[in-house]
Structure 1
Amino acid sequence: MMLDMQPGQKLARGVARHLWAHGFVSVEEFVPARGLRVDVMGLGPKGELWVIECKSSRADYQADSKWQGYLEWCDRFFWAVDTDFPTDLLPAETGLIIADAYDAEIVRMAPEDKVAPARRKKMMQKFATDAARRLQALRDPRV
């Protein structure tokens, strides 16, 4: 139910819908490596890997000290924020998505820095495994 969602989860939902409209699939709260957890990992139709960090407030952004560690795990890195967020705080060399619970819009495309082939293969396998485990858990919570 939407009322039970936290502000960041609402942003992630809108981002996932927007990505879907562009042929991407996504996993929320994806762990690319131990100690890291990205808000949304998008997998594009050509194997693109995008990380989207959802920030619901200035304090939420300022408390995030790990985001630069996500860069090596994706081809493009974006921030997703709502229309009231002070976007001048966000680094200009990153992508920017304006989102709400229902949709999103990419307002600044992130620069591309392609993931190495071996890491891409590992990430795609992890993405598929995580997505399949989550689906199985929905189908059969006792597993």
Structure 2
Amino acid sequence: MAEYRLHCDRLFFATHEGVPLDIFPEECGLFLSDGYGAHMIREAPEHRMAPATRKSVTLNFSRAAAQRLMMAEWANGKPYNVDDV
């Protein structure tokens, strides 16, 4: 879990009623969901990322999103158009 915390300001878990809540770490936030929404059970403490790490995470996310969009366009044979959504 510590390796995940390095890449976010706050770490949350989400679950539903059938899962025991004691399996989730106390130092993380927790959401309990049902078929219609979710409620925050526990707030996650804030651990601010370093600016260089934040930039790296943002760029990696952007690259992955752009690559997935490009692959979808190639598979579909037509470019993605925001107006069609």
Once the 2 structures are TM-superposed, how far is the Cα of residue 101 of structure 1 from its aligned partner? 6.8
Structure showing the higher strand proportion among its residues: 1
Aligned to 2:51: 117
CA 1:89/1:120 → structure 2, altered by over 3 Å: closer, same or farther? same
Distance in structure 2 (CA, Å) of the matches to 1:131 and 1:101? 28
Counterpart amino acid of residue 112 in structure 1:
E
Aligned to 1:84: 18
How do 1:30-109 and structure 2 match up within 5 A? 67-99=1-33, 103-109=37-43
Distance in structure 1 (CA, Å) of the matches to 2:62 and 2:34? 26
> Paired residues, what number?
76
Once the 2 structures are TM-superposed, how far is the Cα of residue 99 of structure 1 from its aligned partner? 3.1
Unaligned runs of 5+ in 2: 77-85
Cα RMSD over matched residues?
2.0
Q: Deviations over 1:17-41 (max 9, x none)?
A: xxxxxxxxxxxxxxxxxxxxxxxxx
Q: Deviations over 1:55-100 (max 9, x none)?
A: xxxxxxxxxxxx2211111101111111111002212110102235
- Identity level (%): 38
Work out which of the two has the higher radius of gyration on C-alpha atoms and give 1 or 2.
Answer: 2
Unaligned runs of 5+ in 1: 1-66
CA 1:98/1:114 → structure 2, altered by over 3 Å: closer, same or farther? same
Distance in structure 1 (CA, Å) of the matches to 2:35 and 2:65? 21
Aligned to 2:71: 137
Normalised by the length of structure 2, the TM-score is: 0.74
Distance in structure 2 (CA, Å) of the matches to 1:100 and 1:136? 35
